[in-house]
Structure 1
């Protein structure tokens, strides 16, 4: 999608910027020339009107063809860029599996498809000029034949007639260029179709008309018969089914289960990244679908496994969404997240640009900046979605210490790959195939021979026998 949008924007910019200035110039030329031709040519000028339907019809047909072939060319360009991106970013996997030749062949095939699509686009646009030249030649020949009779009958003097023909030649140039402008315009339209489709698409989660702000969270979050499935088709698999759960303010709730159980989906319902298929989700008695999205999401902080940082300064990443916050508050949040020390060791401290997606930082450093961002937001509801699963043991220890500072005084939903991190939760919810199969404290669940005990024992065995297959999301 990103490749398509970037390519389409570049094509639209090129198509319009290359002709817009000259188009305006030719419009004025055409207006004044038509006026002069009508005044000077009299009834001969009406001969030119006969060619307008043919010119308009051919321009429309050619334009449609150009638009269609341009769209196909843009799609093929996006395809080849996706192949390049996948191959370059996954080059070690390609080498490890000996797939270099196959990837080269795949690229060549895509390149040939792009070449064919571009040749069709060029061929469609190339028809325009010869066709306009043909119309012009026929019009001039007809005017010469008719003009001879007009001169013979005294309707024109030779000088007036020559001036008229000169104006017709002058008129031909902007008409010919308008055909080329139409091609460029159709290329822009063809390239912009995906842009408009993207910008005009409606969000699946929409705010109700008349939605009211959510008051400050003070009591509980309640799921009542909450079910969710992707898509509206009959037979769509339910990700969550009839979830009944109440979480009190200040409670730390851990959610565990095997891969695909619906853990992340459950917590993503709280900030309305998705809407329930059926049932209700209430915060302090307010259905989340009846409140404004801004007031709802302002009370929720999120730290995920995939840390999202921007190509900006450390300070701006921590203060994301709060640009006017003081430097003192930013540094205080960084200290609480155990990030202040490594930030001050950077070349420009808090003003250091961290690079695209924060790739100049280690995984643990990126995660601690994300935690500092959540601390600074100071939201009463916190979602920790696999916040430490991608870290090594040393980094995880630092991040866990930072998380202890973050969860104080908040209602926390914890999803963790390593069950050792959820033992301190007030309650643990066990999800299996989209339903809650058990709820309780760690000690209580360990006494039962259920899913939680099975997952915990598997991870315990993994510690003793490193070759065992890992369990996780």
Structure 2
């Protein structure tokens, strides 16, 4: 129930939907009930039960208005009696049939209008929920994506939200309308016969308990199903991303085996869910008809023995009215079964929304002033959980200088660089920009002054122009071309099919590694940040591409403060200072010439690369 109410919060503001839906539902139910109350006079006319004395009693006194069922019943019979007197029984029959047709039309008209409101509400809830999930995903820290499967997140953003729409939001009309309908039916039934209605209330809870038991088991299976589906999407994502490796290792049978195993498991779970869900409706109908049969036997015996206040026509109408209670009851049992699956998806979606980002602006965070003097790492430490990655890091980067980070893999170079744009925050110590702790300033203002070029060029399935002008919506064509020229990218761009309007495919798959990297550099140049982070930007390139990219990086680094991570030590020989990291600590520091003359780790790494 808690999950259901949380989902309904996404329907705010309720004022757009609740008043209209309440009005339409109320009139739909009233006119729907009116149809059945007309059966009594219709049957009385057909069976000749309305004599002159009854007609005279009907028209003897015109009823005075009051809000009660008796008034509306007396009001109808007053005019019904007049029709019989003026137009005879056939005229009265025609009158009742016309009233029934009009009543059915109005009942269905208001029902349709209520569905329109629910349709708008459903779209509103799903839009708000998807917006909230996507926004929270973009706010979460980088470590979250390392711990979660991408396929699972995709499932929550797509399939789970779709399941919430189908199973929860779509059943709002059932959850709201049908209980009101049942209450209205029982008000009429109690008004007709208290004894028979109490008898039916003894039998109905038995069927409700059985349906509830089925639905509870359905929820457990739904949880297993959604987890299985997230595994399938993870396998699909890994297959599409790693197709080159799969084919190179002849691993198609292996990856197919993994997929078939999860696919078969998901199919078994779905079959079990379908069996339980489909059982709810016929079982509720069978139990409902059994209740009606018991009521027919009990009440019919009373009528035949003349032990009941109901006439035969009234008893038939009572049975018909009671059978209509089964329609909303059956709809509610089916909806309750469907909701269980949707609530599982709702829990999974809300789990993402409820995840608090570890990197967030302080309540009093300010905008970081323009970078002027230096960046300082003061006693910086960082740990993933209990595993220490960086320990007691201290150094300064004066404005306009280049600091290089080198060392064995796993030494903490990339983690150290990731602390500057606040992809993570230090677990101890502080990073200061011009003496300001960057944690006291907004994440957006810190990152606005930093450009990042990584080893893996992150590009989007869009045009070359839009990739270079990423998030700079006011960039002109001249500015984009100028950035591309500085990045040594203009020439190859002009040789593509549509120049700057060429679509580069998923992750830039239509371009070579060197071309993708130069587009990333052009993007950073256009942003024109005062601080640069270059994370092994040339390590994955061939010699020719490396030369072009290195020239582009040199152009990019002019008059900028740079942090360069490199495995190829030849690319950072001109750095103002080189920091050698090992096991999360700075073990050496100095210029290339100074470090090369020692017998330390840097000299060994340089010698190893020269031998290669």
TM-score for the superposition, normalised by structure 2: 0.70
| Aligned with 1:4 (options 152, 175, 180) | 152
1:367 is displaced (CA, Å) by 0.8
| Aligned with 2:225 (options 70, 73, 96) | 73
| Aligned with 1:406 (options 556, 562, 574) | 556
Determine the C-alpha separation between the residues in 2 that align with 1:290 and 1:102: 50
Equivalent pair of 2:406/2:579 in contact (CA under 8 Å): yes
| Aligned with 1:421 (options 561, 564, 571) | 571
Determine the C-alpha separation between the residues in 2 that align with 1:95 and 1:186: 42
The within-5 A match list for 1:233-382 is: 236-382=386-532
- Higher mean alpha-carbon deviation, 145-154 vs 193-202, is at 145-154
1:42 matched residue in structure 2: 193
Q: How many residues align?
A: 458
Determine the C-alpha separation between the residues in 2 that align with 1:100 and 1:14: 32
1:83 matched residue in structure 2: 235
1:135 matched residue in structure 2: 287
SS in 1 for 2:580: strand
Determine the C-alpha separation between the residues in 1 that align with 2:414 and 2:501: 34
Deviation digits for residues 67-119 of structure 1, max 9, x if unmatched?
Answer: 22112112112223433444565455456556555444444433332233223
Equivalent pair of 1:250/1:411 in contact (CA under 8 Å): yes
Q: 1:51 to 1:435 in 2, by over 3 A?
A: farther
Does structure 1 residue 226 correspond to structure 2 residue 375? no
- Higher mean alpha-carbon deviation, 17-26 vs 348-357, is at 17-26
Determine the C-alpha separation between the residues in 2 that align with 1:181 and 1:445: 73
Determine the C-alpha separation between the residues in 2 that align with 1:27 and 1:195: 23
Q: Which one has a bigger Cα radius of gyration?
A: 2
Does 1 or 2 have the higher relative contact order (CA < 8 Å, sep 6+)? 1
- Higher mean alpha-carbon deviation, 30-39 vs 204-213, is at 30-39
Determine the C-alpha separation between the residues in 2 that align with 1:247 and 1:318: 28
Structure 2 residue runs without a partner (length 5+): 1-148
Structure 1 residue runs of 4+, over 6 Å off?
none
TM-score for the superposition, normalised by structure 1: 0.90
Determine the C-alpha separation between the residues in 2 that align with 1:15 and 1:287: 43
Does structure 1 residue 208 correspond to structure 2 residue 371? no
Determine the C-alpha separation between the residues in 1 that align with 2:281 and 2:344: 20
Does structure 1 residue 63 correspond to structure 2 residue 211? no
- Higher mean alpha-carbon deviation, 137-146 vs 26-35, is at 26-35
Cα-Cα RMSD: 2.4
SS in 1 for 2:193: helix
| Aligned with 1:125 (options 252, 256, 277) | 277
2:165 matched residue in structure 1: 16
Q: 1:410 to 1:82 in 2, by over 3 A?
A: same
Determine the C-alpha separation between the residues in 2 that align with 1:92 and 1:325: 36
Determine the C-alpha separation between the residues in 1 that align with 2:175 and 2:425: 53
1:362 is displaced (CA, Å) by 1.2
Determine the C-alpha separation between the residues in 1 that align with 2:247 and 2:469: 41
1:210 is displaced (CA, Å) by 0.6
SS in 2 for 1:65: helix
Determine the C-alpha separation between the residues in 2 that align with 1:22 and 1:239: 50
Determine the C-alpha separation between the residues in 2 that align with 1:80 and 1:198: 19
SS in 2 for 1:127: helix
Q: 1:127 to 1:352 in 2, by over 3 A?
A: same
Q: 1:286 to 1:47 in 2, by over 3 A?
A: farther
Q: 1:7 to 1:226 in 2, by over 3 A?
A: closer
Determine the C-alpha separation between the residues in 2 that align with 1:431 and 1:305: 19
SS in 1 for 2:382: strand
